[in-house]
Amino acid sequence: MRPLTDDETKVLFEKLTKYIGRNIVHLIDRPDEPYCFRLQKDRVYYVSESIMRKATSVGRHNLISLGTCFGKFTKTGKFRMHITALPLLAQYAKYKVWVKPNGEMPFLYGNHIVKAHIGRVTEDTPEHQGVVIFNMADVPLGFGVSARSTVDMRKVDPTGIVVFHQSDNGEYLREEDALF
Amino acid sequence: MDVSGILQEHKDRFRSVQVDKLVPVDFDLGHLASFDINLLDPGKLKASQKTRDAYLKEISRDGAQLMINELFSLPTVVDDDSVYAQLPKPQTTLPREKPLPKEKAETRWEKFAKIKGIQTRKHSRMVFDEESGEYKPRFGYKSAKNEEMNQWAIPVPDNADPYEDQYAKLRTEKKERVAKNDRRRQRNAEEAMATERGMKPHEMRKSQLQRALVMSKGSTASLGKFDTKLTGEPKIKGVKRKFDPLVGSADKEKSKNMDILNRVNKGEAKASLLNVRKAQRALGTNKQVQAEMNTKGKKQTKRSRK
């Protein structure tokens, strides 16, 4: 376990801004308790200071997970978000997409979202913007990237892809081994 | 018929070529320049932009007029189609545009010749060759020395092996001489580079050799791990990764993260100033709409014609 280097922090923040914009400030500067980012086996964990201090007594090989896993660094140095970061992303998301009940299952099985399944979209969402997916009861389901801007979504036919799938709650089952 | 009125009117349209100045103006006709050292009117200079510009324009016009008057007093050359004034030599020395070229480093021979006081003499290029009875170049192409190799027969020296190819011998000797000269040239260049960097030539050669050694040692499949060590082999120290302490001050970490975030946000803001793709599409749709309008208009006119 170690803190992130400057470069790693930059890559992480660049990725996070795609979903929550400047709201990262609320992750760094929390009123309740100091939180920090820690790297363990290429995975980035968002963890409270006190828990991190306790975890220092666990050896590197024995430490499996701590706090919230945000994602992992690939071997080429890019950052990949994991579904475990969803609660925090959903809390601070700038752009949201709500899917109708008939679209929930297809998305949770790892498919892209087609226009027919969309219930509501944040206005003036740009193209290729990170978005968080909710169902109509406001339960976060996952996140993805908008394939079209809000204006262009109207022109797409019902079977056209509107949001590219990146991660969904189904991964808790499908990728159980690799997730934490 | 009296045309004096018309002539006067024509004359009045142009300014007089006579310009009066308190201090006479200096000229450097070689550069087509005039230097006016008369005092400027501070009141006009501080006035509004318009009057100031007009004032300065007036002064420069006068200067140009005086210079042109002067040009007409120069001796002229008449060509087929025009008359040219002969400009005198420029008086003002202008600064050099490019910096002075760097002094070339001395070669080993030049240093030696300086110490020994050897001076180069001018030789004529052609030398009289007694064998052929004509002048031949001292060296190089078609010189007497080079022609030796092209002779139809070469006498074998007394003590030489009779089966030795004398032609091949001459050729290899020549090649060796050329190679030696090239090595010397390279050495001179290296030494010049070393002195330019403020190092001693042998020091630089040593460091280069060490670098080459390190490179070649690391060029095996095991990155030189199992190679036998040479005596006096330089130890290579790699760069050690350094991380922040795992448990440090939380405030410090927070402020560092904030700094990085600000930098990231700045980059984002710059990138999002203009969404190029969006702008292109907006332009495209506008053009489409316009094109549709145009075609509609044409159709309508066609219909109306029918």
pLDDT digits (tens, 9 = 90+) for B54-73: 999 999 999 999 999 999 99
Sorted by where each begins, the domain ranges of chain A are 2-88, 95-175
Banded model confidence at residue B189, pLDDT cuts 50, 70, 90: very high
Query: CB-based contact (8 Å) between B240 and chain A?
Result: no
Distance CA A122, CA A95 (A): 6
Element (H, E) at B261: helix B250-271
CB contact under 8 A, B247 and A29: no
* Average pLDDT of adjacent 10-residue blocks, chain A of 180 residues: 89 91 88 90 92 90 91 92 92 92 92 91 88 93 92 88 93 84
Distance CA B150, CA B167 (A): 8
> Across all residues in chain B, what is the average pLDDT?
85
pLDDT of residue B301: 47
Helices B166-196, B201-217: axis angle to 10 degrees equals 100
For the stretch A63-100, pLDDT in tens is 989 999 999 999 998 999 999 999 999 999 989 999 99
Sorted by where each begins, the domain ranges of chain B are 3-85, 135-219
Which ipTM was obtained for this model?
A: 0.83
Distance CA B184, CA B182 (A): 5
pLDDT of residue B289: 58
Banded model confidence at residue B286, pLDDT cuts 50, 70, 90: low
CATH class of segment(s) A2-88: alpha beta
Contacts of B268 in chain A (CB under 8 A): 17
CB contact under 8 A, A3 and B253: yes
A95-175: which CATH number, 1.20.20.10, 2.30.130.10, 3.30.1360.200, 3.90.190.20?
2.30.130.10
Query: CB-based contact (8 Å) between B74 and chain A?
Result: no
For the stretch B80-105, pLDDT in tens is 888 899 999 999 998 999 999 988 99
Which of A76-80, B9-13, B218-222, B293-297 has the largest mean confidence? A76-80
> In A, what residues contact B, Cβ < 8 A?
1-3, 5-6, 9-10, 13-14, 17, 22, 24-25, 28-29, 34, 36-38, 49, 52-53, 56, 126-127, 149, 152
Q: What is the pTM of this model?
A: 0.51
pLDDT of residue B176: 97
pLDDT of residue B252: 86
Distance CA A84, CA A71 (A): 8
Distance CA B279, CA A33 (A): 44
Question: Do the two domains A2-88 and A95-175 of this chain adopt the same fold?
Answer: no
Banded model confidence at residue B306, pLDDT cuts 50, 70, 90: very low
A152 closest CA partner among B143, B282, B210: B282
